[in-house]
Structure 1
Amino acid sequence: MPAFAQEAQRPAVARAATALQAKVVDWRRDIHQHPELGNREMRTAAKVAAHLRSLGLEPKTGIAHTGVTAVLKGGRPGPRIALRADMDALPVTEQTGLPFASTATATYRGQTTGVMHACGHDAHVAILMGVAEALAGMREQLAGEVLFVFQPAEEGPPDDEDGGASMMLAEGIFRDFKPDAVFGLHVFSTLQAGQIGVRGGPLMAASDRFNIKVIGRQTHGSRPWGGIDPIVAAADIIGTAQTIVSRRTNISELPAVVSFGAIDGGIRYNIIPDSVELVGTIRTFDEDVRRDIFADLTNVAEHVAAAHGAKVEAHVPDSTGNPVTVNDPALTARLLPSLQAVAGADNVIETPLNMGAEDFAYYAKEVPAMFFFVGATPKGQDPMTAPSNHSPQFDTDESALDLGLRAMLQTTLDFLETPAS
């Protein structure tokens, strides 16, 4: 099959990126200073919708709570493509010291917390706003159609709410506009500014949450024999659960992770409590391994607790998680020259499997997809020790905005300009 991509950066891409650079930086800084949690991205969505209207597009709003979409029709026939950016921030108190740092706060799970774009979604929104403006300026010469998807709640919706990519699909964004491919990007701390990371096949892990409540019987701390200690039972469950990956899962082919993220139980030093709650995450790249770990963790929790005379309420998983993010191998191979054209061949690397998760995976289950990483760590700083995504010190080197814009434009134009088979 012929390659989609050109080996040199398109002049139209270079012109558009240069013209839009200052705008994209301003958009990113404004969005960074006004972050909003998942399903609460009202200001961001309004900013996006107003921008799309200014380009002569007709955005649809309120999709999956706060999502925004718009279709750009080119002047010539051609394929259909979807481009996605996520809009939500995280419950993190910013510590970057930037002049446009967030001072926003919100209530999250009953607690007041800072709100920060600690994962770079501010950059994603600004880049896609720039891509939309660039493509709208080329619409008469453009082949095909482009669906812009500005998505809420990628980090997960609030408890007891639906949201994110799965909800946008359930509400029909691919029903009336079925794309031939979908593209997305993510700024990432483990890559140097100027680098792009991509791989065909599995890219990011499936992500599942679990909740295990260990139920004992409360007693005075001075006479533990008078009750059943759920703290000791919970500690034993945590320790034994480490053998699920180290001894029961074949990780010679694909990795897996079981991590406990929080332990909640007890209120006073001399009271053994009634119960302890354990929550955590499971990351996998294979559906069979995923199901086996669910069963193994439930088994460990129930039997270890029983050995202590305790009981458990194990919800493994406790909700619908994200599937594996899979890049279509043929599409990724055919568009690799697009990424090399804008970054340079030496700056496009095959990224290793990433244990992080992305709900972009839902789009990739519907149509061929390519998702790639754009380096966010400034040159001269070691990406392995730089503040990572989700850190209160995380920042995006603003040169990543320019590279992300060029990469998304180049891949889009290269795909759309391919003659239909």
Structure 2
Amino acid sequence: MRKTMTASLLVLSTAAMAQPNAATINSGAAALQPKLVEWRRHLHQHPELGNREVQTATYIAAHLKALGIEVREKVGVTGVVGILRGGKPGPVVALRADMDALPVKERVDLPFKSTVTAEYLGQTVPVMHACGHDTHVSILMGTAQLLANMKKDVPGTVVFIFQPAEEGPPGNEEGGAPLMIKEGALDNPKVDAIFGLHINSQTPIGQIKYKPEGTMASSDWFTIKVKGKQTHGSQPWSGVDPIMVSAAIIDGLQTIVSREMELTKAPVVISVGKINSGVRSNIIPEEATMEGTIRTLEPNMQKQLHERMKKLVTTIAEAHGATAEINIDTKTLVTYNNPELTAMMVPSLVKAAGEGNVKLTEWTTGAEDFSYFSDKVPGIFFFLGGMPAGKNPKEAAPHHTPDFYIDDSMLDVGVKAFANLVFDYAALKAPATKKK
């Protein structure tokens, strides 16, 4: 036993000594900062909606090919996968960035402000990188360049995943992480671990935040159709009012949250965002339709919530003489950070951002389809600060808004994080690799 442990420690020590140190990695990343800004601002000025990132994909693919990286295009509609085979043996590590923009009109007065419009579900809409995906692409392009320049020292294989439609594909189209997985983004070579990041407009620039286990919520969208009996508004007793039944259902949904969910374990959110019913003020209609979203941070709670919602909706409707049906469509899973992997890799984040700049954070009820990748292989998803130094987070515009703003002067911290994760993961997994 002692002999085996000694051999493993020797392999780990040798791997650690053989790889470039953090100072070398970080200085290489810092040297790329001007290019990171250039790429990011070009992408910001030329945003494209989900499953329509044609020019973005071309821009990325040309960059990767120029670096001598193997490139697969049109994975998951417009996705790009780059494969860098390092000069040393080691695991297969994937790094992921999302590419799509949103139908939002930019209000921030920038020299590289977006004035782009596009068609979305039959309408002409303004398009803006209102969630920072332009910074994600820039950071991953920079990481690819840094690692390609260090190819002889790179252990194993690095897979660069540039993903379309993270915000959801339009209409009934397939897209996003599920489609990229379906089309082999995690195969050939088979990925051992995956890392992803998200810029945050309300986190101070240069900081990194992370959380083990559930870190971002699952996102379920639901539709409830209530059918009653139409009647004159002056004689409600002659019919069954689907609007009143809908109100009772909405109240009931909130009692599931407040009285049935173990909220000390993880938060739960049910929100009805849309109700359609009726045509005139003096006619009680026959039908009403509600649409909303569910957010959970624990997979078993998600399942339990779905079951309770289905039971409650039909029972309340029946109690009022109506009928109701509910359909729940899961858009994303819980974004889950493997706790063992997270504990193992936090020192790599510290190398990138510095002592005191890596902080444990709370979970968020926002959702990310990176969750599909980390459901297939162990993964870590972390947050990178993009708020200007000294700004009050409460005054910083949130994501998905016209005033969303990112300070791009420290994007190299993201490159440092990705690169250190690649090298350190390989060093820490070296004993297992040796045994194989």
Which TM class, normalised by the smaller chain length?
A: over 0.9
Distance in 2, Cα, partners of 1:117 & 1:353: 24
The residue number in structure 2 matching 1:44 is 56
Stretches of structure 1 lacking an aligned partner (at least 5 in a row): none
Moved segments of 4+, more than 6 Å: 1-6
Q: Is the 8 A contact 2:16 2:427 kept in 1?
A: no
The residue number in structure 2 matching 1:333 is 343
1:374 aligns with 2:380: no
The residue number in structure 1 matching 2:6 is none
Q: Is the 8 A contact 1:211 1:314 kept in 2?
A: yes
- 1:299-322 Cα deviation digits (max 9, x unpaired): 22222223333322210x1x2332
The residue number in structure 2 matching 1:86 is 98
Q: Is the 8 A contact 1:217 1:227 kept in 2?
A: yes
C-alpha spacing 1:101/1:230, structure 2 compared with 1 (3 Å): farther
The residue number in structure 2 matching 1:342 is 352
Partner SS for 1:355: strand
1:280 CA displacement: 1.3
Distance in 2, Cα, partners of 1:125 & 1:345: 26
Partner SS for 1:202: strand
Q: Is the 8 A contact 1:261 1:279 kept in 2?
A: yes
The residue number in structure 1 matching 2:5 is none
Which of 23, 28, 38 pairs up with 1:11?
A: 23
Partner SS for 2:331: coil
Which of 350, 357, 381 pairs up with 2:367?
A: 357
1:70 aligns with 2:82: yes
1:395 aligns with 2:405: yes
- 1:339-391 Cα deviation digits (max 9, x unpaired): 11221221111011221221111211222211110012212222234211222
The residue number in structure 2 matching 1:299 is 311
Distance in 2, Cα, partners of 1:230 & 1:92: 34
Stretches of structure 2 lacking an aligned partner (at least 5 in a row): 1-8, 432-436
TM-score by length of 1: 0.92
Greater shift in the superposed pair: 321-330 or 225-234:
225-234
Distance in 2, Cα, partners of 1:9 & 1:189: 30
The residue number in structure 2 matching 1:114 is 126
C-alpha spacing 1:242/1:320, structure 2 compared with 1 (3 Å): closer
1:260 aligns with 2:264: no
Distance in 1, Cα, partners of 2:278 & 2:36: 49
- Equivalent position amino acid for 2:254 in 1: Q
- Equivalent position amino acid for 1:35 in 2: P
- 1:39-92 Cα deviation digits (max 9, x unpaired): 111111111111111111231111111111011011222221100001111222
C-alpha spacing 1:266/1:31, structure 2 compared with 1 (3 Å): farther
Distance in 2, Cα, partners of 1:13 & 1:267: 64
Partner SS for 2:225: strand
Distance in 2, Cα, partners of 1:82 & 1:383: 31
The residue number in structure 1 matching 2:418 is 408
The residue number in structure 1 matching 2:240 is 228
Residues matched between the structures, number: 418
C-alpha spacing 1:205/1:400, structure 2 compared with 1 (3 Å): farther
The residue number in structure 1 matching 2:4 is none
Partner SS for 1:100: coil
1:220 CA displacement: 4.9
Q: Is the 8 A contact 2:168 2:176 kept in 1?
A: yes
1:245 CA displacement: 0.6
Q: Is the 8 A contact 1:5 1:334 kept in 2?
A: no
Distance in 2, Cα, partners of 1:292 & 1:109: 33
- Equivalent position amino acid for 1:140 in 2: K
Greater shift in the superposed pair: 188-197 or 101-110:
101-110
User: For residues 281-320 of structure 1, what are the structure 2 equivalents within 5 Å?
Assistant: 281-315=293-327, 317=328, 319-320=329-330
Greater shift in the superposed pair: 328-337 or 42-51:
328-337
C-alpha spacing 1:288/1:140, structure 2 compared with 1 (3 Å): closer
